[in-house]
Amino acid sequence: MEFLEEAVTFPLIGDNFPELDVQTTHGNMSLPKDMKGKWFVLFSHPGDFTPVCTTEFVAFNKRYNKFKKLNTELVGLSIDQVFSHLKWTQWIKENLNETIKFPIIADGMGAVSEELGMIHPGKGDNTVRAVFIVDAKGIVRAIMYYPQEVGRNVDEILRTVEALQISDKNGVATPENWPNNELFGKDVIIPPAADEKTAKARMKQKGCLDWWFCHKKLTKRK
């Protein structure tokens, strides 16, 4: 008789981020409650005192102020204990001259990692490099997963946060590699026409390649 394996579930894009009480290097925190009114990026790393993770933490830390300008906080996580996090961040400060400004969750029992789908059995017992981008209302807006052997591009995560906020504010979409798209540069994409009248008008509109394919420059709101 075959037994069905229990399905692994975790928050999806558009879901409410689950309520979590966690221990961090900055003390106990409740997510997303303690981030009310702010965006946050929660990212996991396989382990403290590992080379690739160290390069990522330095990159996140160097861009910390850029995230702050986007009303976005950073939160790290691994299944290491809090004392390991503290010793590791101390090593980073002493050897790489970077004082880690953001909290790191100590998920020693792995409960948070399991709930967020950060542990993939086929890749071992440690967390993979997961990223959750959560908006100011506590809604999951983007999820990224990388294997342990591939370091993330922190600029891409920063770009994604900015693009999501631009989309929310202006009711538009952003093209590939925005704001450095090969076709339209910094322009954004206008949502496709939803009726025949608008579709016909789009054919004569500046910036429209077709009724469903239009771009425009962002206008600054006063």
Query: CA 40 to CA 108: how far, in whole Å?
Result: 22
Question: What's at 210, amino acid-wise?
Answer: D
53 is annotated as an active-site residue:
yes
Query: CA 74 to CA 66: how far, in whole Å?
Result: 11
The conformation of residue 182, written as its DSSP 8-state character, comes to T
Query: CA 173 to CA 189: how far, in whole Å?
Result: 5
Catalytic residue among 22, 31, 53, 130: 53
| Ramachandran angles phi, psi of 62, nearest 5° | -65, -25
Containing 105, the helix (H) or strand (E) segment is strand 104-106
| Ramachandran angles phi, psi of 98, nearest 5° | -125, 120
Query: CA 56 to CA 79: how far, in whole Å?
Result: 17
CB 22 within 8 A of CB 129: no
Q: Which of 112, 98, 102, 127 is nearest to 41 (CA)?
A: 102
CB 178 within 8 A of CB 188: yes
Query: CA 158 to CA 121: how far, in whole Å?
Result: 29
Report the catalytic residues: 53
